[in-house]
Every structure is written in C-alpha cells, then in structure tokens.
Amino acid sequence: MPGHFEPLPGGGAAVALDDVEISIIRSLAVQLLELIGPGPAEDASGDPLAELFAEGPSEPPSDPVLHRLFPDAYRDPEGTPGPEKAEEQKAYSAEFRRYTENDLRAGKRDNALAVIRSLDALSPAGEGGAILELSPERSRQWLGALNDLRLAIGSRLEISDEDDSDLLFHLPDEDPRKPMVMAYLWLGGLQETLVNTLVS
C-alpha cells in the first residue's frame, strides 16, 4: 500500500502516507483553495436562492493556471479558426462560462476541502505516518482534487501534453523546477492508482 491507493472491501480506497507526504498534499490543496478563491458573496437581502441564480464571469481568467482549470467551453479542435468563427466561439464560451463557472468553482473548492479535512482527521499509525481510508464518495472528491492539482502544477511547468511530461523525467537535480516536477509525477501516480480502485 505505501505510495499508492488500494481498494477497500465494500468500496473506497486506502493509501499509506508519511508525514511529509501528508504535509505536501495538504499544502498544495490549501494553495489550490486560495487560487480558486471564495464563492460569490451572499446576497444582501438574505435570499437563499440568490446564490443559486448568481451569474458568474463571462471572461476567461487571466491567470494561466485558472484558465487551465476553467478553460473555454468552445474551441476549434482543428486549430485556429477564422475571425468570424473565433468571435462566435468566444461568444458561446462567454455565455457558457457565465452560467457554469460558479458551480465549477464550488465543486473544485469542495474537493480541495475534502482532501484537507481527510488529512486533518488522520490518526498517526506509528513511525511518522498514517493510513488514509476513503469512502467511494470521498475517493471521487480526492480524484477531482488530484486532477486539479496536476493541472495547476502542469500549467506552471508549461506542460501541454504527455511528451512534455516525459522530458521532465530527465531534468537535472539542480534544475529549480525539479521539486515541482517530482510533486507532479508523484500526484500522477496517486491519481492513476486511485482511478484503478474506482474501476475495479
């Protein structure tokens, strides 16, 4: 079990984490929460439905990491569209973003909070570590958060596809990106084994 998730009887997943791993994941989840930001402010009238019908932004985020987490919904899969098509895609994306981004942000916040709460609830298992056991629902939240963390780190590392991530294996130790690369690869391993527990 060390270093990878394994299925639990009856559903869910478990992984052994040492104190350093717990600290790294928790710190990254907190940073992700800070990056995503708070939800829309509660309506001054106190109307509980106001948040439900609150409109989100129509412009994409300027931060490249947030843009990776909340990409445009309409993009030409075949490359750069002509000017007319580009304007049409921009308008559709803006409309879609306006009605979905608040919910997407709330979901990503919930997933990151689930990670933090799971780690905070751990009981030491001796020798500076603990066994993290997740229910099926909490496993899905962890999977979403791990994916978001990898997208965020990958964006900072300017990784656009698998070929880029293969190059990261060969970075020299003195490269300042090395710690972030190691975190990216390690989270990828956790994510892959967690997926395997959910589909097995």
Confidence at residue 44, expressed as pLDDT on a 0 to 100 scale: 46
Confidence at residue 20, expressed as pLDDT on a 0 to 100 scale: 92
* Residue pLDDT tens, the chain, 200 long: 457 999 999 889 999 999 999 999 999 999 999 999 887 554 445 555 555 556 777 677 888 998 888 888 776 656 666 677 777 777 777 787 788 888 899 999 999 999 999 999 998 766 778 999 999 999 999 999 999 999 999 999 888 766 566 667 778 888 888 889 889 999 999 999 999 998 87
Confidence at residue 51, expressed as pLDDT on a 0 to 100 scale: 56
- Encoded tokens for 179: 């710690």
CA distance 103 to 14: 29
Confidence at residue 94, expressed as pLDDT on a 0 to 100 scale: 78
pTM to 2 decimals?
A: 0.83
Q: Identify the CA nearest to 22 among candidates 125, 153, 107.
A: 125
CA distance 165 to 176: 16
At what angle are helices 178-199 and 19-36 packed, to 10 degrees?
90
Tell me the backbone φ, ψ of residue 186, rounded to 5 degrees: -65, -45
Tally of CA atoms within 13 A in the half-sphere of 196 that contains its CB: 12
